[in-house]
Amino acid sequence: MKFVMTKSTPARIAIADFLSSSAYPVDIGSIIRFLRSKNLKTNKVTVYRTIDFLLQEDLVKRVEFGEGKYRYELQKDHHHHLICTNCKKIEDVEGEYLRDLESKIRNKKGFLVKNHSLEFFGICKQCQQ
């Protein structure tokens, strides 16, 4: 992944790398742990500010899984998440399932949907066995 940042610094490069290599949304803590594992003694404030920058540039998306904190992932094709409440694994579900619904909402309620959050909580295949 390449960011169009005004300045390219070790912290930003590492955060970009981590987001690129993460299959699923990560929280600030795991970013910091990654940076430490690379012996980059980055401050958490830098992480927050880098994420803010990426959010504003619309390179990153913020999601919530009911944990009392945010998670972040690179913008990619529209998708949602399957979150196993047992083992905490996260899977993707691709698709634009709500497009028709959003038109209906427009027609019935006059409400213009700009975006939505949709996450599924349940038990993954492995944990059912």
Partner DNA sequence: GTCACTGCAAAGGCTTTGCATGTAC
Partner DNA sequence: GTACATGCAAAGCCTTTGCAGTGAC
Query: Which residues of the chain form contacts with a second copy (CB under 8 A)?
Result: 62, 64, 66, 68, 70, 82, 84-85, 91, 93, 97-98, 101-102, 105, 109-125, 128
Question: In sequence order, which residues have a C-beta less than 8 Å from that of residue 49 and are 6 or more positions away?
Answer: none
If one asks whether residue 68 binds DNA (CB under 7 A), the answer comes out as yes
Q: What tokens were used for 118?
A: 């949709």
In which region does residue 71 sit, left (phi positive, over 0), alpha (psi from -120 to 50) or beta (all else)?
beta
Q: Min. distance of Cβ 92 from a second copy in angstroms?
A: 10
Q: What is the smallest separation between the CB atom of 89 and DNA, expressed in angstroms?
A: 18
CB of 81 to a second copy, least distance (A): 10
Nearer to DNA, 31 or 84 (CB): 31
Instruction: State the Cα angle at 68 between 63 and 69, rounded to 5°.
Output: 50
Residue 49 touching DNA (CB under 7 A):
yes
Total interface residues for DNA by CB under 7 A:
25
Would you give the distance in Å from CA 52 to the centre of its chain?
13
User: For residues 51 and 57, what is the distance between their CA atoms, to the nearest angstrom?
Assistant: 10
Which residues of the chain form contacts with DNA (CB under 7 A)?
5-12, 27-29, 41-46, 48-50, 52-53, 68-70
